[in-house]
Amino acid sequence: MKRFLVLTFVILSFAALYGQAPVKKVLVEKYTSSFCGNCPRATLDMLALEASNPNLIWVAHHCPWVVRDSMHTTDIDPFYNNYTNSAPKATIDRIKWNNQSSVATGTGSWTQHVGTQTAATADVSVGVSGTYNTTTREISVDVTANFYNSVGMGDRRINLFLVETDVSVPNTTGYNQANYDNNNMSSPLYMQGNPILNYVHKNVTRAVLSDTWGTTNVIPAMPAINTDYTYTYTYSIPSNYNIANTYLVAFVQAYDANDINNHEVLNAERLDISALSQIVPVTSDFTDDAMGQPTVQFTDASTDTPTDWSWDFGDGNTSTAQNPMHVYTAPGTYNVCLTASNAAGTNGASCNPVVVNTLNVEKLLSAAFTVYPNPANNFVIIEYAGNQQIQGYSYHILDVTGKQLVTGELNAQTPVRIETNDYSSGLYLVEIRTQAGTTVSTKKLSIQ
C-alpha cells in the first residue's frame, strides 16, 4: 500500500508540473459526393452530432464515388481507396473498430464511436498558428505537437488539411446534390428537390497540405514530454475559395507501414484562416520636424508593419532608411513622399510639403565654405566643407572696387585652387553664388 501511495503522489506531482492534460478532439472524416443520394441525410446526422459535441471536428472528403463531383480532390483518394469504397461512410479518428470490415463506418455507429473517443484521454496536444498574406493569399502555418505523457516508441506524424465550408454553386452539375429523401415526408429533405439545386456543402476538404499520411521526421520515435515538435507549411489559397469560410484542420496520427488499419489519430485541432495573424499592405505615413530649417528629420509613422521604405525628398534625392535625416541646399517648398511596404505590398505613397526658408539655407551654406590660406601668398583654396549636396554654385573673386577677377564652378567633391602670383597685395572678396546669382557667402581674402 505504501508503494502505491508513493507512486500516486509521483504521478500527481508530475501532472501538476506539466499542467492540465490536453483536451481530446475527435476527428471525423466523412466520405461524400454530390452524386450520393443518401449523403445529405448523413450530413444532417453529422451536423446534429457536432451540435452536441463541441470537441468534434469533421471534414467532408468528396470522393470518387460513381463519378467525381466538382469538389473532389485527388489528395483524398488514398484515404478513400484504403478506408472505404462507398458513401456515406466516415472514419472516427481512423480507428478500425471491432466487427468492422474497414476503418470507415456507416451512419448508425457514428454516435457511439464519437462518444467513445470523446471520453478518451489525449497524450498529445496540437497547436496551430501562423500568418495570412491578404494580398498573395499565402498562408504560413506552424503545426506543433507536444506530448503530455510518455507514449513509447513509434512512428507519429503531423498532418494538415485545408477545408472550406458552405460551398454552393446553384444549379450546376457537380454541385447539385442528389437527394433520395425528396419524397420522404418525414425527412427535413422532403421536397427539397432531387437533385437539390442550391445545396450548401459543409466542410469540404480542399487540400492535404502535409504528405498523404503525414509529415515524417518531425516527431522523433521516442518523443520527449513537454517538448514542442513543429513543422511549417506554406500554401497559396486559390482565389475562388472564400477566406471567411476556410479553415485548417491539424492532427497527429500514428503510422504503421505494415498495417493501413493502424493509423489512429491521437488528437486534432481546428483554426480559421481569419484567426491567423494577417499580413496586410502597409499604409504609408510619416512625420517631420521641419520648421523652415534646411536640416529635416523624417520619422516613419506607417502602419501594418512595414519592412521597406522608399523616400523621395522632392529635390532629386532619395533614401531607403526608415527614419532618414535630409539637408536641403536651396530654399523652397518640397513635396516629400514615403512609400512603405511589406510582403503584402503597399496602399500607396504618403506625401507632405516641407518648407525651407531662404535665410536658413544661406546661413548654413555660408558657414560651410572656407577660403585658405588667408592671408595667401602664391595660391588660395576655396573649399566646400558641408555635408549637403550642392549643385549650380560658383565662386567669384572681386577686388575692392567690385571688379570680378576670376570665376568658376564649385562642387562638393573637389576644392578649387587659384594661383594668386599675378594679384597685387591687398584685400579681396570671395563670393559664393547660387545658379540664380544669389550670394550666399562672402569671405575677405588678404593677398600678400
Residue range(s) defining the domain that contains residue 376: 360-447
Domain boundary among 356, 379, 410: 356
Residues 316 and 385 in one domain: no
Q: What confidence score (pLDDT) does residue 391 get?
A: 67
Q: 321 and 396: one domain?
A: no
Residues 343 and 437 in one domain: no
Q: Say which range, 49-53, 188-192, 430-434, has the weakest mean pLDDT.
A: 430-434
pLDDT at 390: 62
Judgement on whether residues 137 and 170 belong to the same structural domain of the protein: yes
Could you read off the pLDDT of 69-87 as tens digits, one per residue?
A: 999 999 999 999 999 989 9
pLDDT band at 19 (very low <50, low <70, confident <90, very high): low
In a domain, 3, yes or no: no
How large is the average pLDDT for residues 195-221?
97
**Residue 408 and residue 270 share a domain:** no
Q: Is the pLDDT of residue 423 over 80?
A: yes
Q: How many domains, in total, are found in the chain?
A: 3
Q: At residue 262, what is the residue type?
A: N
* Residue range 370-417, pLDDT digits in tens: 889 999 999 999 887 765 556 677 889 988 888 999 998 887 668 899
Looking up residue 403, the CATH number of its domain turns out to be 2.60.40.3080
Any domain includes 41: yes
Lowest mean pLDDT among 122-131, 356-365, 393-402: 356-365
In a domain, 433, yes or no: yes
CA nearest neighbour of 79 among 267, 265, 226: 265
Predicted local confidence at residue 443, as pLDDT: 84
Q: What is the pLDDT of residue 364?
A: 56
pLDDT at 10 over 60: no
Rounded distance between C-alpha atoms, residue 210 and residue 216, angstroms: 9
Same domain, 294 and 226: no
Domain final residue, candidates 356, 376, 394:
356
Selection from 262, 156, 267, 266 nearest residue 218 by Cα: 156
Q: Are 369 and 351 found together in one domain?
A: no
219-267 per-position pLDDT tens digit: 999 999 999 999 999 999 999 999 999 999 999 999 999 999 999 999 9
For 285-300, the pLDDT digits (tens) are 999 988 777 889 999 9
Is the confidence at residue 362, as pLDDT, over 60?
Answer: no
pLDDT of amino acid 18 = 46
pLDDT band at 361 (very low <50, low <70, confident <90, very high): low
Q: Is the confidence at residue 8, as pLDDT, over 50?
A: no
Q: What is the model's pTM? A: 0.70
Q: Are residues 66 and 147 in the same domain?
A: yes
Same domain for 169 and 264, yes or no, is: yes
Q: 372 and 422 share a domain? A: yes
Choose between 311 and 442: higher pLDDT. Answer: 311
What is residue 435's predicted lDDT score, i.e. its pLDDT? Answer: 75
Regarding whether 155 and 60 lie in a shared domain, the answer is: yes
> What integer best gives the mean pLDDT of the chain?
90
Confidence of residue 367 (pLDDT cuts 50, 70, 90): low
Q: Which of 335, 356, 377 is the last residue of a domain?
A: 356
- What's residue 14's pLDDT? 37
Are 292 and 393 within one domain? no
The stretch 318-335 carries a mean pLDDT of 91
CATH number for the domain spanning 322: value is 2.60.40.10
Cβ atoms within 10 Å of 239's Cβ, excluding its own? 7
